[in-house]
Amino acid sequence: MKQTTPIILMIEPTGFGYNPEAAATNSFQQELRDFTPGQVQDIALLEFRNAVAELRNLGVEVITMRDPENAGTPDSVFPNNWFSTHAEGHLVTYPMASASRRNERRQEVIEQIKHACQCKEHVMLEFFEEQETPVYLEGTGSMVLDRVNKIAYAAVSPRTNEDVLRQFCDKLGYKAVTFEAYGSAGELIYHTNVMMCVGDTYAVVALETVAEQDREMLQTSLTENGKEIIEISKEQTYQHFAGNMLQVENQQGERILVMSKAAYESLTPQQLERMQAHNEHILYLPIHMIEKAGGGSIRCMIAELFRKQ
C-alpha cells in the first residue's frame, strides 16, 4: 500500500466561476466584480493548462477530461470532491452539498476512471443526498487520507458528516479521526484539506485552527503513525491556502509536493526546509484566479488515480 500515485485526473473547466450556492459554506470564495465571467474563465483556463504542463514536465502522468460546454458546473475544476480511487480496487462517489456539483458525476468520467484504475467495485454514497435530511461527505476534500495506515482525518462541518464518514470507513476498512477546525470568522472549516495534508512520512497541519480539546488527539494520531508534523499558521491557511497541498510521485518514483504559488510564497525558510527533506521536488503553481473565485487550491484540482494492486 502506498500513500502516493504517479497518475492523476484533472478536469479542464469550460464555465469556471464564483458559485454563490457553494459560497454559503465556503468562506474562501470571493466574488471578483472587477472581472467579467468570461475573463474569470479565460484566466482560470490558462492557470489550469499551465498546471497540467508543469506536472507533466516533472514526470507525473496527468489524464485530462474537458467539462462540457454550458454544463452549469462552475466548480468542476475540483474533481477530488466527488470521487476517490483506492488501490484495493474501489471507486467511491460522494454526496455533494451543492446541487450544481452533483452534475459533475458524469458517466463518461466515471467510465474513464474505472478503466484507468481497473476498479472492481463502485461504492456509491450519493444516496445520502436524497434523505429527508440530506448529509454530505465531499471526498478527499472532506477527508485527508493516510492510505498506508487506513486513517481518515476529518474536520466535521456542514459538508463533512460523521454518518457518511462512518459508512465510508466501514466499506473501505478505515478508522475515522474526527475533530473541529475553525476559519477566520469562527465558522467550521468546510473542508479538511484546507488545513491539512498527509504525505508518506509527514503531515502539514494548521494546528492553530483545531479546537483545543481535539488538538492533542490529532497530534498523537499523526505522530504514532509515523508522521513528522510540519505546522503552518492560521494566516498561512486562511490567506494563502498553505494547507491545501498534495504529495504525488512521478514515473521515476520521485516524491513531489504540489502547492500553489501563493502557498509557497507564504512559507518560512524553516517550513520549506522541512518539507524539502521529505520530497525530491517542490512544485508551486500560480492559480490565483482559481483560488480566489473558486475557494479551492491545487490539491482540490488533483484527483488521484490508484490502480488496483
Per-residue confidence of the chain (309 residues) as pLDDT tens digits? 899 999 999 999 998 875 555 545 555 556 667 788 889 999 999 999 999 999 999 999 999 999 998 888 999 999 999 999 999 999 999 999 999 999 999 999 999 999 999 999 999 999 999 999 999 999 999 999 999 999 999 999 999 999 999 999 999 999 999 999 999 999 999 999 999 999 999 999 999 999 999 999 999 999 999 999 999 999 999 999 999 999 999 999 999 999 999 999 999 999 999 999 999 999 999 999 999 988 899 999 999 999 987
∠182-186-192 over CA atoms, to 5°?
Answer: 20
In 36-85, alpha helices (H):
37-57
Q: Report the C-alpha gap between 276 and 273 in whole angstroms.
A: 5
Cβ(93)–Cβ(128) below 8 Å: no
Q: Report the C-alpha gap between 163 and 142 in whole angstroms.
A: 13
Q: Report the C-alpha gap between 245 and 226 in whole angstroms.
A: 19
Residue whose grid cell is 498523537? 220
Nearest to 127 by CA among 152, 145, 143, 105: 105
Structurally, what CATH architecture does the domain formed by 7-304 represent?
5-stranded Propeller (3.75)
Any bridge partners for residue 155, and if so which?
A: 179
Per-residue pLDDT at 30? 63
Per-residue pLDDT at 280? 98
DSSP labels, 201-228? SEEEE-GGGB-HHHHHHHHHHHHHTT-E
